[in-house]
Chains A and B, each alone.
Chain A
Amino acid sequence: MAKLTINVDNCKGCGLCVDVCPKKVLELSPNKINKKGHKPVEAVREADCIGCAFCATMCPDCIIKVER
Chain B
Amino acid sequence: MKHKSQDNPQGEFPEEFGSQSRRSFLRLAGFTFAGVALAGCEQSRIEKAIPYLIKPEEITPGKASWYASTCRGCSAGCGILVKNRDGRPIKIEGNPDHPVSRGGVCAIGQAMVLGIYDSMRLTGPLINGSLSTWNAVDRTVAGTLQSLQSKNRGVRILTGALNGPTEKVILDGFLRRFSNAKHIVWSALSQSAILEAHRLTHGMRVLPRYRFDKADVIVSFDADFLGTWISPVEFTRGYTEKRSLKGMPPMCSYHVQVESRLSLTGAKADRRIVIAPAERIALIQELYSALTGKRAGSEMARLGRRLQEARGRSLVVCGSNDLQAQLLINAINHALGNYGGTIDLNTPSYQHQSDDRAVQGLVEEMREGNVGALFLAGVNPVADLPNGSEFAGLMKNIPLVVSFADHVDETSSQATIIAPDHHFLESWSDAEPVDGIVTVNQPVIAPLGNTRSLMESLSIWSGRPKSALQLMQETWSRSVFPRRKKGMGFQEFWDRAVHDGFVEVHPTRRVLPRFRPGSVEPPVAQAVTEGFTAVLYPKVTVLDGRHAQNAWLQEIPDPITKITWDNYAILSPEAAEKIGGMSGDIVRLSLPDGSSALELPAWVQPGQPESVVAVALGYGRKGTERFTSIGPKWLQGRPSTGPNGLVGVNASVFLEFDNGEVKYERNGIKIEKTGRRSVLACTQTYHSVDSPPLLAGEQRHRRPLVQMTSLAEFAADPTAGSYPKPESRSLWSEEHHYDGYHWGMVIDLNACTGCAACVVSCQAENNIPVVGKDEVLRNREMHWLRIDRYFMENDGTTDVVHQPMLCHHCDNAPCETVCPVQATVHSSEGLNQQIYNRCVGTRYCANNCPYKIRRFNWFDYPRDNEKENMVLNPDVTVRSRGVMEKCSFCVQRIQEARIEAKRQGTTIRDDQLKTACEQSCPARAIAFGDLNNPETRVSMLAKDPRQYQILAELEIRPTVSYMTVVKNRLDVKEQDNV
Partners in one complex: no
